[in-house]
């Protein structure tokens, strides 16, 4: 798709909520970093989205643990992994980027840092999520189901009116994951990558596939060498399909380049994404290889 900035593109049906929040900032000349953070926060806040933030489905032990990453135009990056009891991991990730010499904080240290920064501690396990967790006790089948909310990271990619790119992603990770499991979302290069001279890309779905494929970084490098965002997305997905066991797993990717061109592709049908700019506000089905 073609377009120029400002523009925002976000993963899945919850991408609509993300875009609405991001567009409020982008449409008034705001910064892409603020826009992607606001987009991710909108999804983190809504318990109806059970794969992100408050209301996210827990791990096998019934604990909600969150992963998130944010990157700016200059390539600065902040991330949190396995963060408990804080509703907005994306904002903690931004604080990691802006207030520490590090890129990622995990587990207890991430929680302590968040509390030191003034974030509120709260129970993120909603009644609905707890009920679903209880209902599956005794079920030892932990294979993620494609296209259900068990793995649906919100990825938000934006280009602002000044030509600055940014990206954010946030998730409660795979539902029923092992305790301590981190996914692709907090790992720069796997779930998200930004190069202000090239573009921004993200992945969603079964994170292990994107981690092994370093999918977000791969898309940036393909675009750097001349691929369109759509070509980069297709190659990243085909690479995963060629090199890894995908069975019926889902992986979806989005890319946006500095000219405002976008791409989307997925391993199989069912991946949706939302695009908003001055003339467009649309939810679409991603293309996928014929299977
Ligand atoms: N992509 C989300 C996860 O695997 O954690």
**193-203 pLDDT tens trace:** 999 999 999 99
- In angstroms, rounded to a whole number, what is the distance separating the alpha carbons of residues 237 and 25? 31
Q: What is the pLDDT of residue 190?
A: 98
Residue 27 CA, distance from chain mean position: 22
Residues of the chain with pLDDT under 70: 1-3, 145-151, 291
Give the chain's domain count.
1
Answer whether 183 contacts ligand 1 (Cβ < 6 A). Answer: yes
Task: Kindly state whether residue 290 falls inside one of the protein's structural domains.
Answer: no
Look at residue 121 in the predicted model and tell me its pLDDT: 98
**Is residue 1 assigned to a domain?**
no
Q: Confirm or reject: Cβ of 166 under 6 Å from ligand 1.
A: no
- Residue 215 · residue 118 · CB < 8 Å: no
Output the residue whose Cα is nearest ligand 1's atom 4: 207
Distance CA 222, CA 226 (A): 7
pLDDT in tens, 130-175: 999 999 898 877 777 666 656 689 999 999 999 999 999 999 999 9
Is residue 252 in contact with ligand 1, taking CB distance under 6 Å? Answer: no
Return the ligand 1 atom nearest residue 67 CA: 5
Q: Does residue 291 form part of some domain?
A: no
Q: How much is the pLDDT for 146?
A: 67
Question: What's the pLDDT at 2?
Answer: 46
177 CA closest ligand 1 atom index: 5
Query: H helices within 62-201, ranges in order?
Result: 89-99, 107-116, 127-135
Stated pTM of the model:
0.96
Domain range for 272 is: 7-285
- Name the residue at shortest CA distance from atom 1 of ligand 1: 207
Domain presence at residue 149: yes
Residue 218 within a domain: yes
CB of 153 closer than 6 A to ligand 1? yes
- Which CATH number do you get for residue 88? 3.60.20.30
CA atoms within 13 A on the CB side of 191: 33
Whether residue 144 has its Cβ less than 6 Å from ligand 1: no
2 belongs to a structural domain: no
**DSSP string spanning 55-91?**
T----TTS---EEEEEE-TT--EEEEEEE-S-S-HHH
For residue 138, what pLDDT is reported?
A: 84
- Residue 291 three-state SS: coil
Note whether residue 185 is domain-resident. Answer: yes
φ, ψ dihedrals at 93, nearest 5°: -60, -40
Residues known to be catalytic: 153
Q: What is the DSSP letter of 267?
A: S
Q: Are 167 and 156 in contact (CB under 8 A)?
A: yes
- Residue whose tokens read 């393909």: 222
């Amino acid at each position: 798709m073609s377009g120029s900035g400002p523009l925002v593109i976000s993963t899945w049906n919850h991408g609509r909520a993300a875009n609405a929040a991001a567009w409020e900032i982008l449409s008034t000349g705001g910064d892409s970093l603020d826009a992607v953070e606001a987009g991710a926060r909108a999804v983190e806040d809504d318990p109806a989205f059970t794969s992100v933030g408050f209301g996210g489905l827990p791990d096998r032990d019934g604990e909600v643990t969150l992963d998130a990453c944010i990157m700016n135009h200059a390539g600065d990056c902040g991330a949190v992994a396995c963060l408990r009891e804080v509703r907005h991991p994306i904002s903690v990730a931004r604080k990691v980027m802006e207030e520490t010499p590090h890129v990622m904080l995990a587990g207890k240290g991430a929680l302590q840092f968040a509390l030191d920064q003034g974030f509120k501690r709260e129970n993120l396990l909603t009644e609905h999520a707890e009920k679903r967790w209880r209902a599956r006790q005794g079920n030892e089948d932990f294979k993620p189901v494609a296209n259900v909310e068990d793995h649906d990271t919100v990825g938000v990619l934006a280009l602002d009116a000044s030509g600055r790119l940014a990206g954010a992603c946030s998730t409660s990770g795979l539902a029923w994951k092992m305790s301590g499991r981190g996914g692709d979302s907090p790992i720069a290069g796997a779930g998200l990558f930004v190069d202000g001279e090239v573009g921004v890309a993200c992945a969603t779905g079964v994170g292990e596939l994107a981690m092994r494929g370093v999918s977000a970084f791969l898309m940036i490098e393909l675009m750097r060498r001349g691929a369109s965002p759509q070509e980069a997305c297709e190659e990243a997905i085909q690479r995963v399909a060629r090199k890894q066991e995908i069975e019926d797993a889902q992986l979806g990717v989005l890319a946006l380049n500095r000219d405002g061109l976008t791409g989307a592709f997925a391993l199989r049908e069912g991946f949706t994404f939302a695009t908003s700019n001055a003339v467009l506000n649309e939810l679409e089905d991603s293309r996928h290889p014929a299977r």
